[in-house]
Structure 1
Amino acid sequence: MDYLKKVEIHEGQKGQWAIFPRLCKGCGLCIEKCPVSCISWSKTLGVYGTPAVVADMEKCILCGICQTVCPDCALSVEKKK
């Protein structure tokens, strides 16, 4: 069952983006607010059986807006130093 996954980490050259499917309820706020439209629906299911999200790390600028607007703290964005 996909919703039992604890974390999905997506690595990029600039850093990493993580989604916690157990916390994601599929509200879509992160998709709506992403300034570069790099977030889309995933095949992984979230807590309510709705799709979680995934980021295209080629396009992601790791701005952290998605992490800020997520009401469930289901996203984590970390830039490399």
Structure 2
Amino acid sequence: MPKEIKPISTDMDRAVFHIFPQFCKGCGLCKEKCPNDVLIWSEKLGVYGTPTVKPKDEDSCIACILCEMICPDAAIYIEKKAKKKRAAQ
């Protein structure tokens, strides 16, 4: 019987970053293509025993979802947050 598929989630300023270790093969495409160099290798191992990725800090991610789109295994899901409205001045 397969294990339940649950992501490891990181709450960031603009989005919630979800990585599914059960799908991640550690290819590093997401890390390589991130325009803000947000992703680093994690101690959590993926499907082939290779490291998965995680965000290195919460405020560098711009929620562009490039990592989600480039992942060949659909191991990343970016849940964008609603934009905060600025207070009237």
TM-score by length of 1: 0.89
**Equivalent residues, number:** 78
Aligned-residue CA RMSD (Å): 1.4
Match of 1:52 in 2: 52
| 1:31-46 to 2 correspondences below 5 Å | 31-46=31-46
Q: Aligned partners of 2:10, 2:69: CA distance in 1, in Å?
A: 18
The residue identity in structure 2 corresponding to 1:36 is N
Once structures 1 and 2 are overlaid, which stretch shifts more, 6-15 or 29-38? 6-15
* Percent of residue pairs bearing the same amino acid type: 46
Aligned structure 1 segments of 4 or more residues deviating by more than 6 angstroms: none
Alignment pair present for 1:63 and 2:64: yes
Q: Which is richer in helix?
A: 1
Query: Which runs of no fewer than 5 residues in structure 1 stay unpaired?
Result: none
TM-score by length of 2: 0.82
Query: Which runs of no fewer than 5 residues in structure 2 stay unpaired?
Result: 83-89
